[in-house]
Every structure is written in C-alpha cells, then in structure tokens.
Amino acid sequence: MTALPSHRLAIAGHIVAEAAELALWHFSRRAELRLDSKRSQDFVSEADMAVERLIRDRLQQHFPDDNVVGEELGGELGPGANWVIDPIDGTANFLRGSPLWGVSLGLLEGQKPVLGVVALPVLTELLAAETGQGVFSKGQPFVRDSRFDEVKMVSLGDSADDRLQDAAAFYQGLRGAEWSVECYRCTTVGMLFAAKGLIDGHLQRRTTLWDIAGGLVICAEAGLEVTHAFRDGDIRHMSVAAGTASLLDAVRPLWPNLQPC
C-alpha cells in the first residue's frame, strides 16, 4: 500500500476513519438517539456530539498546539493551524436512514485550506488530500473519473439562509443552461461526488466553514476549479463553488460575484 505523503495527512486519515466507525455505530442505533433542534430543519443528535468529541480528543493527542473549530462544540479561527470538524454533515439524512451523510476534517493555515479528509461511512468512501500532493483513496493515489463529461450534472446545496426566490432563480438558471441538478442535502456528499467525477461540481451560495473545510483541498487536488468566500469574515456565512471549468463558466452569469480564489 502506498504511504500517504505526510505524517499529518496519515494521522488525519486515521482519525476520520475511526470517527466514521463511531458514526456508523450510532447510525445503526439511530432510533435510540436523543435529538435536539438548533433551528427549523437543522438538527443535532448525541451522535454528532460523540463523533466531534472523539475527533477533538485525537487531535489533542497528536497536535496539541493546534487550534480546533467544530460545528457542535465551537471555536474560532486563529492565525496558525486550524483543524475544522463537521462530525456528521447531513444529520437530517443520517436520522432518516439515508446513506448520504459524511464525516469531514479539514486543516487551514490561517484561512488557507491545506489538507482535507472526508468519509462517507455507509458508502465506504474515504478520500484524503494535501495541497500539492494529490488525492488518495485507501492509501493509493486517486484520479478523478472524467468520462462522459457531456452528461452535465451538478449538485446544488441549499440553506435556510438563502431566500426562496433567489434559490429558485438560481436553480432555474442552471436548468435553463441544460444542467441536471441534484440536491443531496449534504455539502460533504456533493463535494466528494464532484471530486470523484460522479458529477461536474457542487455549488452552494450559503454554507459554513465546517461543511466545506474537508472537501476544499480534495476538490482542488482532484483538478476542479475551487472558490470559497467568507462573508464579512464569518465562518458561519460562506459560499463555495467547486467544479469543472465548463460548469463554472456556465455559472458565472448566474452568480456575478463568483471569483476565483
């Protein structure tokens, strides 16, 4: 088996693999989970909390001087190394029994993404990437599947913060440009599917840092064009576009302020 290119990426991969096993254990027992609602259609379960605690504990063991930001237990970006956790992205899917949810861990140097590991436990997928080193699957270099690019498919992320009429207009614009539109209700799934070549890209005009931190480097190292933006410097109000050149060329008239990173 090919070794991952750095000790840091190897450790992150092991952490996410362990976290995925724990999340999958909770998934098999989800009928017993305690559930809270953060806001309308935005849920957190004891599984989310348990998985984030596990990841934080492992990061503390291996990288005690690094900063940690998580969806459930908080934190803010610092000037140095920042690990960003989404313990279960797609909690609603997770709770309903859908396989379309994931575990995401990203590393930023300041605000610059440099490493990402994402697992889709039910689908037995785990991709890891580090800037300049490519993408790895099961320890082996991974190459994005670019066959059948004439079949135009895109994942569109939604958000309760997006005005309904704006979201509808964006969707209509994509369909008018002859793109088939998927909505997985999980940013991690959309970005990983884009990195694998199952779709041409993932677009989300309102998202959060923990949703995208793991997938940013994976998509970029897979050869996609990737752009993300902080709104007023707030990690809770961001946007992301990761896709093929043809997709982003088609999207720019619909998203005038979309700029390359």
Q: Which helix (H) or strand (E) holds 216?
A: helix 209-221
Annotated binding residue 88: yes
Terminal C-alpha separation, the chain: 34
Q: Are strands 35-39 and 42-45 parallel, antiparallel or unpaired?
A: antiparallel
Quote the DSSP letter at residue 99: S
The Cα 114–Cα 221 span in angstroms is 10
Q: What b/e string do you get for 106-115 counting C-beta neighbours within 10 Å, with b at 16 or more?
A: bbbeeeebbb
Contact 77, 235 (CB under 8 A): yes
Longest dimension (CA), the chain: 51
The Cα 105–Cα 87 span in angstroms is 8
Helices (H) and strands (E) in the chain, counts: 7, 14
Sign of CA dihedral 206, 208, 211, 214: positive
* Two structure tokens written together for 71: 């969806």
Annotated binding residue 86: yes
> Could you tell me which residues are annotated as the binding site for Mg(2+)?
71, 86, 88-89, 211
> Could you tell me which residues are annotated as the binding site?
71, 86, 88-89, 211
